[in-house]
């Protein structure tokens, strides 16, 4: 049993269409990552006021985590949403995508470095991302369930020994 749990400790994200960006996190090697294009933001609430915080955009991503040692896998789905305009600035799609990818990768590296089963890694990933996104962009939110108006972007990931 210990070997199975430890097998999930060394994980690599191998993403379709993503350049591999090797990195280490703790004692485990994590390769690949989410790219900005995985975050297809859609305007859910358009801008209505001439100034100030307004509007809302969100993206839904569905990532499959697989432990290659055990064959266990889980689909880890989440939504990232944020204002179209904050007190400070307009939040363009490109900015929303870039910051979301950066924060998701940091959260993935932190979560996947632990000896967790895929389901627990997914929950840890979402918890870390929930804490980091509002610090990166004020008012940003992370949800486990995606708005029905959003089409999830499917991302293949693989956990390897």
Least confident of 3-17, 44-58, 116-130, 131-145: 3-17
- pLDDT digit string (tens) for 110-145? 887 776 777 888 999 999 999 999 999 999 999 999
**pLDDT at position 97, please?**
99
Q: What is the full DSSP assignment across 6-58?
A: HHTTS-----TTPPP--EEETTEEE-----GGG---EEEE---SSSSSB-EEE
Adjacent-strand bridge partners of 59: 80
**Measured between alpha carbons, how far is 39 from 47 in angstroms, rounded to an integer?**
20
Least confident of 9-13, 44-48, 52-56, 131-135: 9-13
**pLDDT at position 121, please?**
86
């Amino acid at each position: 049993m210990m070997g199975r749990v430890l097998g999930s400790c060394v994980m690599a994200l191998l993403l379709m269409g993503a350049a591999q960006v090797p990195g280490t996190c703790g004692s485990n090697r994590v390769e690949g990552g989410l790219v900005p294009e995985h975050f297809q933001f859609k305007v859910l609430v358009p801008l209505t006021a001439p100034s100030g915080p307004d509007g809302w955009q969100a993206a839904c991503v569905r990532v499959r985590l697989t432990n290659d040692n055990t064959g266990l896998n889980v689909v880890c789905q989440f939504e990232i949403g944020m204002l179209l305009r904050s007190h400070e600035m307009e939040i363009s799609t490109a900015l929303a995508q870039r910051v979301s990818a950066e924060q998701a990768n940091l959260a993935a590296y932190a979560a996947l470095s632990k000896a967790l089963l895929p389901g627990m890694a997914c929950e840890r990933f979402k918890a870390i991302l929930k804490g980091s996104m509002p610090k990166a962009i004020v008012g940003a939110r992370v949800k486990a369930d995606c708005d029905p108006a959003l089409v999830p972007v499917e991302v293949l990931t693989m956990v390897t020994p």
